[in-house]
């Protein structure tokens, strides 16, 4: 595969496309930067750290702790909650890990009982 050493820049760039050309080698593609917006579509941006944490229905230890933390009247941002979770003592994390396993097993058992066929009662 042949990679040109210089990527040409269009003479009349499209208003939705920005190109920055520079030398490109097969080992160093960091010099190539292309930003494009096709058809007016926007990319989903990364969540901002100053957004408030919102619990989900996930049964993970972290989410279960978050649910309890929010119910206690706290309203942490994503960055604040990450710090709180990272600095949480091992005993509390172990407690929520056990709770997570129990909740996950409970969900699996419910799914299994729903998917099992009822026994033939006519015998």
What secondary structure, in 3-state letters, does the chain show? Answer: CCCCCECCCCCCCCCCEEEECCECCCCCCCCCEEEECCCCCCCCCCCCCCCECCCCCCCCHHHHHHHHHHHCCCCCEHHHHHHHHHCCCHHHHHHHHHHHHHHHHHHHHHHHHHHCCCCCCCC
Q: How many of the other CB atoms lie within 10 Å of CB of 96?
A: 20
* Residue 104 lies inside a defined structural domain of this protein: yes
Residues 30 and 66 in one domain: no
* Residue 23 lies inside a defined structural domain of this protein: yes
pLDDT of the residue at 123: 52
Residues 108 and 68 in one domain: yes
Residues 103 and 65 in one domain: yes
* Residue 41 lies inside a defined structural domain of this protein: no
Range of the domain at 87: 61-112
Do you know the residue count of the chain?
123
* Residue 49 lies inside a defined structural domain of this protein: no
Indicate the number of domains in the chain. 2
pLDDT per residue, tens digit, the chain (123 aa), is: 445 444 444 444 444 444 444 444 444 444 444 444 455 566 666 667 789 999 999 999 999 999 999 999 999 999 999 999 999 999 999 999 999 999 999 988 888 887 766 665 555
**67: which 2 tokens?**
């649910």
* Residue 51 lies inside a defined structural domain of this protein: no
**101: which 2 tokens?**
């396993």
Q: Which residues pair with 69 in a beta bridge?
A: none
pLDDT of the residue at 104: 92
* Residue 76 lies inside a defined structural domain of this protein: yes
* Residue 117 lies inside a defined structural domain of this protein: no
Q: What is the pTM of this model?
A: 0.54
* Residue 13 lies inside a defined structural domain of this protein: yes
β-bridge pairing 33-36 and 17-20: antiparallel
pLDDT of the residue at 25: 43
pLDDT of the residue at 69: 95
């Amino acid at each position: 595969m042949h990679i040109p050493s210089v990527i040409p820049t269009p003479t009349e760039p499209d208003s939705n496309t920005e190109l920055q050309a520079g030398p490109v080698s097969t080992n160093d593609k960091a010099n190539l930067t292309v930003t494009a917006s096709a058809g007016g579509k926007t990319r989903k941006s990364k969540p901002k750290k100053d957004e408030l944490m919102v619990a989900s229905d996930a049964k993970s230890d972290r989410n279960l702790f978050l649910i309890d933390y929010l119910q206690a009247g706290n309203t942490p941002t994503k960055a604040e909650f990450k710090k709180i979770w990272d600095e949480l003592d091992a005993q509390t994390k172990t407690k929520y890990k056990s709770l997570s396993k129990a909740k996950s097993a409970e969900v699996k058992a419910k799914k299994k009982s729903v998917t099992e066929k009822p026994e033939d009662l006519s015998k």
